[in-house]
A and B are shown apart, each in its own frame.
Chain A
Amino acid sequence: MSLSAKDKAAVRDLWSKVSGKADDIGNDALSRMLVVYPQTKTYFSHWKDLSPGSAPVRKHGKTVMGGVAEAVSKIDDLTSGLLNLSELHAFQLRVDPANFKILSHNILVVLAAMFPNDFTPEAHVAMDKFLSALALALAEKYR
């Protein structure tokens, strides 16, 4: 299920429309993930406050969306482009890759809520494929 030229164009197009709100998207997606899938909180036991919109959540949402932005710019070769991030997640963070799917779902929900007219079915499938490919690239170094 690799990204076609049409998928990449759709992702770049949607990203150009939403990237201005990247920080809010990251904050909202992460907040939802921690509330709707509480098992994900186990990775953030070092934060003082895990409630939606708290300072550590905001800051980390921004970090995560920075990674997404980087992935968009390297969409033509995610595996090599995201090697550093893959090593980070594999050797230091050791996030179970099953959780990438959970965060991706919440990013899609937030995009739908914030940009209902731009998040068409075509944009939806392209974004879902892109986030899946991103997750795969992140998992590259795991084993």
Chain B
Amino acid sequence: MEFIGQLPPLFLRTIGQTHLAEIHGRRPRRPYLNICPVLKPQDTMVKWTAEERAAIEAVFASLDYESVGRESLTRLLVVYPWTRRYFGGFGNLFNTEAIMANPKVAAHGTVVLQGLEMALEDMDNIKKTYASLSELHSEKLQVDPGNFQLLGDCLTVVIATRMRTEFTPVIQAAWQKFLCVVVAALRRQYN
């Protein structure tokens, strides 16, 4: 198949996708999500539907940042105890009770939620919004970016306790996509 290299890129991608999709037993369709959205090479922007924007705004509107922030960070430090390595200056993090009562944990929980809220200001430019925070986390704080997903999971669990049946599968899907996009933006400056 030497002629393949001479075909224009768009055509190549189309036939490549079609051919592979048929081999794999699926009708050809747009590349789908793994855990996080996969962008086609020419995409530079994540696309949000009106429903997704509404869902994400509804989630934020329902949250008490202080309470949810504190509990999310608490769960991160309890469920994934190795994350305590990043909070050496926070004092007593030795057990669940100490973590839950720790005022620095509470304060930082609020900071995290306010940081997530920043994305809402310009959902079409999330990469730009988090450029400096990404540099902060990679260069100064030196946080293993795998931890962003862990915090996201804890936050999702806490949101479920607050919203309960209102946290429908469709809203959860939009929220998960939002978390993936923010995490990807935060990972961007790591090198």
Interchain CB contact under 8 A, B161 and A113: yes
Give complex CA distance A38, B31 in Å.
Answer: 12
Given A36-B172, A38-B32, A39-B34, CB of A124 within 8 Å of CB of B75? yes
Give complex CA distance A134, B77 in Å.
Answer: 22
- Interface of chain A, main secondary structure: helix
Give complex CA distance A112, B172 in Å.
Answer: 13
Give complex CA distance A35, B55 in Å.
Answer: 14
Give complex CA distance A105, B71 in Å.
Answer: 17
The residue that A32 contacts in the complex, of B71, B96, B164, B172, with Cβ under 8 A, is B172
- Looking at the assembled complex, report how far the CB atom of A114 sits from the nearest CB atom of chain B, in whole angstroms: 8
The residue that B153 contacts in the complex, of A105, A114, A116, with Cβ under 8 A, is A105
Interface centre among A38, A39, A128 (most CB of B within 10 A): A128
What are 14 A-B pairs with beta-carbon distances under 8 A? Answer: A32-B169, A32-B172, A37-B176, A52-B169, A109-B156, A109-B167, A112-B158, A121-B74, A121-B75, A121-B78, A121-B96, A124-B75, A124-B79, A125-B79
The 4 closest A-B pairs by CB, nearest first: A116-B161, A35-B169, A112-B160, A113-B160
Interface residues of A (CB under 8 A from B): 31-32, 34-39, 42, 52, 102, 105, 108-110, 112-114, 116, 119, 121-122, 124-125, 128
